[in-house]
Structure 1
């Protein structure tokens, strides 16, 4: 059974996923091009959003995550750092309401800060999984978090889409203002539903308070990872397959647009992914607990492989909806089981720093897949072939995962003492 502490931890997924769906993926790119960057050349606005918005925030998180993870373990500051990043994300998201038309520089700055708050807090949140759940509970608890995240993010995104499509029903004058109010709703949602974690989840104790920290300690952690073959092999496998998983999610809308599908169809596809992922992630939690997390990940990667192969045959919007439904079946599962599986491979007292590297690798993984898809599409002019290329990422990731030597407790199904 899920206890109060575990449910409170999982509520943070419900809280911050609203930012991912409404702001990161759904509405900010639309409002940026049509309102914040009005009058700016479309090519330049795309560059500003990609380089100064997404890439800059990713780089900041990649540089900060491992070092702050070391400090969090040493001082017992996981919740403290999570609170700081949460307040940064909430404040910057709410502040977007006050950015005027044409002020693209301020909009990008606030968006980047909000993204740093979102992604920067994930390592500390993930590391707390070790604190709230025993080894034999983590598959189920991690899956609960992802399932609540997809459900909560989907519910608020559905409300926000309704606000944008029918602003007058909500007493709002125009669509741009409706999007701004959607950002405010995300900020309130994020802050409100983060509170159970900060109230009910205990802070892990410090491991070595008072000792020196910094780049030297970071290098020591990196050497530990290089010396722990199961951890290193898993991270290499994770880098490959999560790159492809992220690329499918990031490029799906562009893929649909290239095939000539209507914009409202793309929104429907996003909602399908959200609401299918809710029960599917819970099911993968059961699969992980019953058959092992690694077998659950294999299953998800097999489905992804078949999915990308079938994309070659896609012709209609109905096919696109089916693609979205299948993604929803396995996306939350591969994410949740990867998190719980990694938590069982690492030294428990160093969860903060190891999850710092885990999340840094997750951000770095957002580079290769989209690049391969983009180059393939540019050279061939065929978006279906571009998506097909991701099959090699899934197969290579599964192979490397098979080379991970599991601890005896995972092989036998018995929780470690």
Structure 2
């Protein structure tokens, strides 16, 4: 039943579970360890290019499959099952990062490739389940709660892993390199354990006609073709998706590439990790507050404020010289990152039919992943050819501006 507290919290705890991958692996230790250990013989520009390219390629797979998988999941009541399958892929791949030795950049990238695919694929079905756990009036706050739990959960484990990295002897670990390897194992275990509430307590409504796996994919394909044929019926949802494609590109790119950018400016690993912790613990209350602000002033207005803030962050990043400025940017990102993600999800959920949530969130995640293809790759290419990472981050402002302009054309009255 929608709006039950146990169901909402069980759903939201998946954010707590998989955010450990987003913080410790994706944003934190993987890019640092990739440059300092696995890609130790590569230049900063080449390692940035390879990391950006793999982020993009892994996103392509999910992006291409997302609408089809979502439609099939709708028809076969498989959103929860598909989430579990993708989560398992991400958990296993993350676990085996422990086994990759120094200088082996290709195996590290391949495991990261599959781990990210599991993370992104699981999020597709996690997002679509919001229409099954929350009514329209509560989706803004429920979505914000999920992101807030993600930030605090991911932040807690990341803090523990940072302490292991900085003081390995205290934990009986021989050195910092081993601590990083162990951190990958802790992420896999954390992700697995805190997925259990969703598995146990979130129920997906059943269709009247039960379909086999093969029939679900066939029926899902037909549903997808029907939606594309009648896409004009969903004009506001499509317009929002185009805006989302632009502005979320900048958000996701900053999430994935911020540590790499800081490392290219010769900031220490400890400083970069500290900045990530700042983001996590600022974002926890900020996501909750931002969700309530969205309810008061309107979700669309709150999203536009967040996009403008990211334009300022991008310009600030271009002129950044000192580590204190990197920390200041971390605070600003923490204030707006969770809010813009949470309100985007709930805003889109208001524009779509509940019985096609898997399919429509497939489009939502598809465009988000295609956006994440452009941003990291663009940063990598600009850095490679200009020889300067500063120009690469400045280019992101174009994406934020385009997203804001298109978002102003979405009729928010239809979401109330």
* TM-score normalised by structure 1 residue count: 0.89
CA contact (8 A) 1:345 1:407 kept: no
Tell me whether 1:355 sits opposite 2:357 in the alignment. Answer: no
Structure-to-structure mapping, 1:188-267, within 5 angstroms: 188-206=189-207, 209-210=210-211, 212-213=218-219, 215-267=221-273
Q: Are residues 299 and 208 of structure 1, via their aligned partners in 2, closer, same or farther at CA, if it must alter by over 3 Å?
A: farther
- Aligned pair partner of 1:325 in 320, 331, 334: 331
Q: C-alpha deviations, 1:146-202, integer Å up to 9, x for none?
A: 111111111111111211222221111222222221111111111111111111111
Counterpart in the other structure of 1:173: 174
Q: In the aligned structure 2, how far is the partner of 1:108 from the partner of 1:376? A: 21
**What CA deviation, in whole Å up to 9, does each residue of 1:96-141 have, x standing for no partner?**
2334455544433332222111111111000111111111101101
Alpha-carbon deviation of 1:311?
A: 3.9
Is the aligned partner of 1:136 residue 2:142? Answer: no
3-state SS of paired residue (1:228):
helix
Report the alpha carbon displacement of residue 292 of structure 1 after superposing the two structures with TM: 2.1
Structure 2 equivalent of residue 305 of structure 1: 311
Does the C-alpha gap of structure 1 residues 310 and 347 become closer, same or farther in structure 2, counting only changes over 3 Å?
same
Query: Where does structure 1 lack aligned partners over 5 or more consecutive residues?
Result: 411-417
CA distance, structure 1, for counterparts of residue 260 and residue 415 of structure 2: 43
Q: Deviations over 1:260-300 (max 9, x none)?
A: 43332222211111111110000111112222211211221
**Distance (Å, rounded) in 2 between the aligned partners of 1:305 and 1:55:** 22
Q: Is the 8 A contact 1:207 1:349 kept in 2?
A: no
Task: Look up the match of 1:112.
Answer: 113
* 1:326-367 residue CA offsets vs partner (Å, 9 max, x unmatched): 111001100000000000001110000110111111111013
Shift of 1:374: 5.2
Q: CA deviation at 1:40?
A: 7.0
Offset at 1:54? 2.6
In 1, the alpha carbon distance for the partners of 2:307 and 2:66 equals: 27
Pair 1:377–1:140, CA change in 2 (3 A): same
Write out aligned runs for 1:363-374 (5 A).
Answer: 363-373=369-379
Q: Return closer, same or farther for 1:224/1:329 CA change in 2, 3 Å cut-off.
A: farther
The CA distance in 2 between the partners of 1:342 and 1:109, in whole Å, is 33
- The superposition leaves residues 75-100 of structure 1 with CA deviations (integer Å, 9 ceiling, x where unpaired) of 11111111111111112212223344
Q: Distance in 2 between matches of 1:183 and 1:105?
A: 17
Q: CA deviation at 1:233?
A: 0.5
Distance, in Å, in 1 between the alignment partners of 2:117 and 2:230 is: 27
Structure 2 residue matching 1:213: 3-state secondary structure: helix
SS at match of 1:203: coil
Q: Distance between the aligned counterparts of 1:370 and 1:149, measured in 2?
A: 23
| 2:10 aligned to which of 3, 8, 21 | 8
Aligned residues: 409
Q: Could you tell me how far 1:245 is from its partner in structure 2? A: 1.6
Report deviation, 1:213. Answer: 2.8
Q: 1:400 to 1:39 in 2, by over 3 A?
A: closer
TM-score (norm 2): 0.89
2:24 counterpart of 1:22: yes
Cα offset, 1:50, TM superposition: 4.5
Contact kept in structure 1, 2:243 and 2:406, CA below 8 Å: yes
Measure the CA separation in 1 of the matches of 2:262 and 2:97: 29
Contact kept in structure 1, 2:32 and 2:269, CA below 8 Å: no
Q: Residue 314 and residue 161 in structure 1: after superposition, are their counterparts in 2 closer, same or farther (change >3 A)?
A: same
